[in-house]
Structure formats: structure tokens, C-alpha cells
Amino acid sequence: MTEVPVLAAGALCWRIENGKARILVVHRQRRNDISLPKGKVDPGESLPQTAVREIEEETGVDISLGAPLGTTEYLVQNGRNGGRPKIVHYWAAHVDDEAHANSRFESNDEISDLDWLSIAQAKERLTYPHDLDILNRFEDLRRKGAESTFGLIILRHAKAVPPGDWDGPDATRPLLHRGLEQSVGAAAGVAAFGPRKIISSTAARCVATVEPLAKVTGLEIKQTTAISQDAHERGVARVEDVVAKRIEKRKTVVLCSHGPVIPELIAEIAAQTGTRVDSRLRSAAMLSTGQFAVLHLSTENPSAGIVGVETH
């Protein structure tokens, strides 16, 4: 039988020192290696949650996730059949001066020491080829001036009472119990990207979906009809204006909306950034209830195109 892969997540943490990028690596004494920080997914966690938690536990640094750097796949030796497959998902994560100053690392049984290395030093000292692959992907982003990003997070409201089972106006439909569970799960995953603002359709099902996120992040919920389904059906939605303002602000934001509106949001982001609509964006436009997509844009030049797309 094919073994189920071990799932893990981590981040290539970077900061700027004297104008040059420095990469965070960890020394694992028991394995006698130098690697990028990562760890296995705990039950009930999303991959973004895992990445943020593992970085904090291993390095004492609080991070928000940036652009995705893809995955690595390799075998974990278990003494049987050559090993069990392991898939690790990585993101870039900028560590600003405040986060670096407030890091709380203490040497422990797993991680004996940390180092901030130049890219050239990291290439020489990282133990594993799969870590070098991630470093090379980050270096590619840096060459394009796209290592620093912000995210437009498109969240579809969680599962609500069906229209046929609700006597009131459509905008007042509440979440089902399953929807309430979805909203809590989405909150932890979305929070890993460090949103600075939450914008929601005025529909009750959208507002309820982002309430757990507001509690987790301490952010207020700004409600607007501009991305509501009612406005969309009447032809008075202002998706273009909302997208233009969020791109101009260059801050990670959550936009909680509806199935019929989300394709318009995605298309507008693509149009305003000069990005060709491909399979990644088409998938992001077809979110199920409670799912979210993150479209990453370069902070330096957001009109240069979408840097990365991911769906959770």
C-alpha cells in the first residue's frame, strides 16, 4: 500500500541588514544539520497555521506569511521500504526590525542555535538540496523585486441557511452550525497572512464569517454594499473601486464576499495588475463556502502582476 505523506509547513524568513538580504537557518543538534525552519501539521490545523506556529516555536520569531515558495518532497527514513514520503509547504516571510528585536529564541533539545546568513552563505551551509530549492525560488523573487508582498485575501462566506429555508430577505440569512465551524477554521488560516484590514459584504452571512477573524486579529469589520450579492444582482456593485483602493494601499486585506461576486473580484485584480487569467486564477474564482484565496502582489510594484496565488 502507498503510505500517506507526512504534511509539514515552514517559511524562508528574511530580513534586510545593511542593504542585503539575510536568511534565517536553524541548527538541529540531534540531526547535525542546518536547515530552514519547518514542522509537521497538527490535527485540525491548516498549512498556513502550521508554518506560523512552527516558526514561532522553533525560532521565537512572530511572522506573517508572504508569497508561497512551493513545496519540497522527499522520503523520511523509517526503516521500511526506503522511507515515508514527506511534503513540506513553504512561504517567504519578511521579519522586520521590531519582530527581530522581539524574538524569543532559547536553545532547546531540537534547535540548538540560529543564524542569519547571506544568500551566498546559506547556499554553502544548508545541508539539504530541497532547502536549496526553496532558497533559489526566493532568490528568483528577489531578482524580480517581488520578495516583499502584500495579499488580497478573497474569502467566501461560510455555509448559510439555504434560501428556500429562509423567510426573510436574502441578506439576513444566518450561518448554519457547519458554517460557524468553517468561519472559525478560516480565521486561523487567514490570520497567518497578517491582514491589516477586514472588509465584508453587509450580508449577515458574510459578517458572521469574519467575526472569528476579527476576534483573533483585533481588527474591526468594515461593512460595505460594494461587494454584496444584492448590489451585484442589481448591477450597482463597485468592485472596480474596491480593488483599486486596496491595491493603492498596498496592505494585506480580507475581502469577504459571495460566490457570484468573487469571480468579478478576481478578474478585476487581474485586470488592474496586468495579469493573464490562468488556471490558478480560475480556481481561485470558484471558492466553496468557507474557502479563501490569497493573491500576492509586489509591494514595490503591484501593477507588475500577481506574484503568487493560493487557495485554502
Task: Give residue limits of the domains in the chain.
Answer: 6-143, 149-311
Domains 6-143 and 149-311 in one fold: no
DSSP state of 175: B
Quote the strand ranges of 102-161, DSSP E: 113-118, 149-156
For residue 186, is pLDDT > 50? Answer: yes
Task: Say if residues 245 and 224 touch (Cβ distance below 8 Å).
Answer: no
For residue range 114-142, list pLDDT tens digits in order.
Answer: 999 999 999 999 999 999 999 999 999 99
What is the three-class DSSP state of 96?
coil
Q: Which CA distances in Å does 173 have to 177, 211, 254, 257, 289?
A: 13, 15, 21, 14, 14
pLDDT of residue 1: 47
Query: By percentage, how much of the chain surpasses pLDDT 90?
Result: 89
Q: Letter for the amino acid at 32?
A: N
DSSP state of 172: G
**pTM of the complete model:** 0.95
Q: Which CATH number is associated with domain 6-143?
A: 3.90.79.10
For residue range 222-272, list pLDDT tens digits in order.
Answer: 999 999 999 999 999 899 999 999 999 999 999 999 999 999 999 999 999
What does the block give as the cell for 220? 474591526
For residue range 142-151, list pLDDT tens digits in order.
Answer: 999 999 999 9
pLDDT of residue 30: 82
For residue range 42-88, list pLDDT tens digits in order.
Answer: 999 999 999 999 999 999 999 999 999 999 998 887 655 567 899 99
CA-CA distance, 71 to 113, in Å (whole number)?
25
For residue range 26-38, list pLDDT tens digits in order.
Answer: 999 888 899 999 9
Q: Which CATH number is associated with domain 149-311?
A: 3.40.50.1240
